[in-house]
Structure 1
Amino acid sequence: MADFVFHHAGVSVPDLDAAIAWYQRVLGFTLEKRFYIEAARSHTAMVRKGPLRFEIFEVEGAALLPEDRRHPPRDVKTHGNKHAAFQVPDLDAFLAEMAQKGADIAFVVRESFGKGCFIRDCAGNLIEFVEEPEA
């Protein structure tokens, strides 16, 4: 089998500049580059935080995110890509920081198998953060 590693996740948003600012302010990403994809009619940016990248698309004439895609338990009832997930060392500290930054906290899970949360970016896209349970 060919070797491969994760490169990036992508989200579509209605306002590229607002999304770049949100990913910088709330999650600490920096702008890596901006470009236009002619075939998709998309103004696009790649933001980066260490080895993590998000590709953000502002596509001409794109539809808004459907309401069911904004809530994790409803979102998983529709086939397709769901979200990117990142590990945090302390979920409670992360939630406190997100609340302080005014992030839209969509869902918090605290179960015997682990705990995590979903936040929504400025366009409603879900992003998951998990704290690994202690061994």
Structure 2
Amino acid sequence: MMVRFDHVGISVPDLEAATAWYCAALDLTAAPPFAVAGTDLRGVMLLHEESGYRIELLHRPDAGPGLAAGSALEAVGTLGYGHMCLCVEEVQAEYDRLIAAGATTRMTPSPAPRAGATVSYVADPWGNLIELIDRKEA
């Protein structure tokens, strides 16, 4: 049986603003928004056309705040979702681009524990962690 990762879901306080930010910052395309009948849940699936990865943004008006980690180390100190990771060609360039788009620094680009790789963390405008890593061979 073949299994593959499909998408990550992120609960956001403002579906329209988050859709606009993720589409602009990560070059994603939004599918038509959806609503779950009988609930106050709305959402939208975002797709990266070139690589095929997807992010599902979800919104409930009365949702409470969750983990807003100041670092990757802090995120792994709480059970549950910690971050999503994007493999990029140049970590520094993508880091700079996301900071210019409104992300905030959590860890500047630096050598990763994996030899020959570079890693960085930023947070989207709602505090969700995004890891950036290159997978250059050592």
Sort the TM-score into its range (normalised by shorter chain).
0.7 to 0.9
**Larger relative contact order, structure 1 or 2 (CA cutoff 8 Å, min sep 6):** 1
Change in 2 beyond 3 A, CA 1:88/1:9? same
State the 4+ residue runs in structure 1 displaced beyond 4 angstroms: none
Q: Can you give the 5+ residue segments of structure 2 that lack an aligned partner in the other structure?
A: none
Give the structure-1-normalised TM-score: 0.86
Q: Whole-Å Cα distance in 2 between the matches of residues 39 and 60 of structure 1?
A: 14
Q: Whole-Å Cα distance in 2 between the matches of residues 62 and 70 of structure 1?
A: 21
Q: Would you say the 8 A contact 2:110–2:118 is kept in 1?
A: yes
Q: Which residue of 2 aligns with 1:12?
A: 11
Q: Can you give the 5+ residue segments of structure 1 that lack an aligned partner in the other structure?
A: none
Give the structure-2-normalised TM-score: 0.85
Query: How many residues are matched?
Result: 133
Structure number with the higher helix fraction is 1
Shift of 1:41: 2.7
- The RMSD of aligned alpha carbons is 1.9
Structure number with the higher strand fraction is 1
Write out aligned runs for 1:43-58 (5 A): 43-50=42-49, 51-58=52-59
User: Which stretch has the larger CA shift, 14-23 or 108-117?
Assistant: 108-117
Identity, % of aligned pairs? 27
